[in-house]
Amino acid sequence: MVRRVENSTIDGEVVSILKRRQGNYSDLLRYLLDIPQLPDGERDRICQALDMTEAAGLESITRDLIESLIERGQLKELPTATLGTRQLEDMWNHRIYHLSDFPPPLVRRIYPPPSEDRGTAKDRDALWGGFSPDDISIFLDPRELITRLESDLKELLGATRCLFHPIQVPEEWTGILREQKPHPVIQELAEEASRRPGEMLYVPDLLRLTAGEEADRAEGSLLILGLGSRERSWLGAVEWHAPQPGGFPPEVRARAFRYGRVMQYRLTASFRLQALVFRDLLTGIYNRAYFEDQMEKEMHLALRKNEVMGLCIIDIDDFKSYNTRFGYAGGDRVLQEVALKLRASLRASDTLARYGGDEFAALLAAPFSPDEGPQIAARIREVVTGLRFPMVTMDGVTVESSVSVSLGGALCPRDASSLEELWKAANRNLLNAKTAGKNRWIFP
């Protein structure tokens, strides 16, 4: 039910909308369609919403749309003395909307500002404007990069806390995922924001949102911006926290959008650079430099936590024969096929690298049971031995080719407590496996 009443103090009409029937949301949306400069995206959302039959979905879209239009300055919220109501003014048609039983949402979805709103040069340069190629090493260390970005973004927005939430990131960054222990409500919001990179969630009063969580109540206000790059296949979110409710006014939220774009660019650049520096171009798995760095970190972590980790070295049997019979292109094909099978045979937490030539290495991350070593080694040998693929000989004849590998493994701290000694222990077992006839594994 919609009532139109002339208001003598404002040149326009007053529309009173009660939240008692689904149709009232439809009425409000039809009024909003009259806004002349309504962005195409919002206009499309209204048209889609008007076709909906589910009341809850229609209400959600209406709430989101109202907040978006307030953010863009096309609706203005007016003070009201009645609890549980809102009063909005259409800045183009000068209508006043009275919304009964329609309080502000606990979480507001805020859409990016218009594309022409790029901010000033000062805004664009505020986040690492003086970046120097001499600092390129920071892009290769995820923890240092994130720490610096969090510190800069916290200061630029005057927040008490700024945290990056990695939701879906390359394998190089999986350690960060394990380190995260955010508030469960905030983690849920970060995951939601990451699904729409470039959009923002605003929680004006965290206490209202977490009131039902006796052990996890939080106070203040929260801003979460979804980040991500489809090109680099990563998703995340950046969170800002203020100690008081309503701590992020519109001008601050506008700056957060601009700084968020810069952070997204920096992270994407880091992923791209790491792929160039740490990946083997032929097989797509890690290279020796990255593997040795990870091995050192994982060993220190395992020793500190008194946990077990493992190392497995894998060598392709008689690899030179493939180059001789099929040429170097054929040898490359063998390396690629074996790398795919090895990756599929390991745990998600393990690290696989092409260590050199036809030799691969697998870091079996802690926590790791000694019983798992022989199981993984046996699985790798079996999977690779069952591999069949067509190859073209140097004479141009297509034949079905197969391949086998030999493996040697060792555990830290049982077999060694230093990287050099652990490698020697695993390599001795590899050489013994080859001496015993190849296509074998030795992992005590």
C-alpha span between 214 and 205 (Å, rounded): 16
Looking at residue 352, its pLDDT comes to 93
Condensed to tens digits (0 to 9), the pLDDT of residues 421-441 reads: 999 999 999 999 999 999 999
| Beta bridge mates, 226 | 237
Percent of the chain past pLDDT 70, that is, above it, reads 81
Question: Quick check: 211 pLDDT over 70?
Answer: yes
**Does a cis peptide bond (omega within 30 degrees of 0) precede residue 444?**
no
List, for residues 9-65, the tens digit of each pLDDT value: 333 445 554 443 334 667 777 877 877 777 777 788 788 777 776 666 677 777 777
Q: How far is 424 from 208, CA to CA, in rounded Å?
A: 59
C-alpha–C-alpha distance, residues 339 and 319, integer Å:
14
Summarised one tens digit per residue, pLDDT across range 67-101 is 777 777 788 888 776 666 778 888 877 778 777 76
Give the C-alpha separation, 427 to 412, whole Å: 14
Give ∠ CA 118-122-124 in degrees, rounded to 5. 45
**Whole-number Cα distances in Å, 410 to 215, 338, 358:** 44, 21, 20
* DSSP 8-state class, residue 279: B
Residue 304, phi then psi, degrees to nearest 5: -65, -35
| High-pLDDT (> 90) share of the chain, % | 34
Report pLDDT digits (tens) over 152-196: 899 989 999 999 998 888 766 665 655 556 778 888 899 999 988
Q: Are 351 and 294 in contact (CB under 8 A)?
A: yes
